[in-house]
Amino acid sequence: MALRIRGDPDRVAQIVSNLLDNAIKYSPPRSAIDVSVAMVGDEAQVRVSDHGVGIPDDERGLLFAPFFRTTRTREITGTGLGLHISRKIAEQHRGRLWLDASGPGGSVFALAVPLDRRAES
């Protein structure tokens, strides 16, 4: 079954690419990264799960702020803009981007974008 979404495919791909890049960058080499896609109501939801460093509880509220880097990732190259830009793109598509879960064994990021119901006609 194909899911069609509303929006610019290049920009949505940019979000997914950023989530995958982060999962790779902040996880041990050769560790698994799981990606799932599901239809939930009127949305397509993509989840990217890694086995990386996780996000400290007290820093989660700042995670999508521009230039923010967690204390666990500051020594790894990056600008702190990827999640901020990705969330803005999701919002421009009437979607959402959030940290679904995180702990010492990794994180799960989720993206939801509206389905294109016109494609079903």
Is residue 1 a part of any domain in this protein? Answer: no
Is residue 4 a part of any domain in this protein? Answer: no
The answer to whether residue 121 scores a pLDDT higher than 70 is: no
Q: Is 7 exposed, middle or buried, given 0-12, 13-18 or 19+ CB atoms closer than 10 A?
A: middle
Q: Which domain holds residue 59?
A: 9-120
- Based on its alpha-carbon atoms, the radius of gyration of the chain, rounded to whole angstroms, reads 15
Number of structural domains (the chain) is 1
Residue 26 belongs to a domain with what CATH number?
Answer: 3.30.565.10
Is residue 59 a part of any domain in this protein? Answer: yes
Q: What is the pLDDT of residues 42-101, one digit of tens each?
A: 999 999 999 999 999 999 999 999 999 999 888 888 899 999 999 999 999 999 999 999
pTM: 0.92
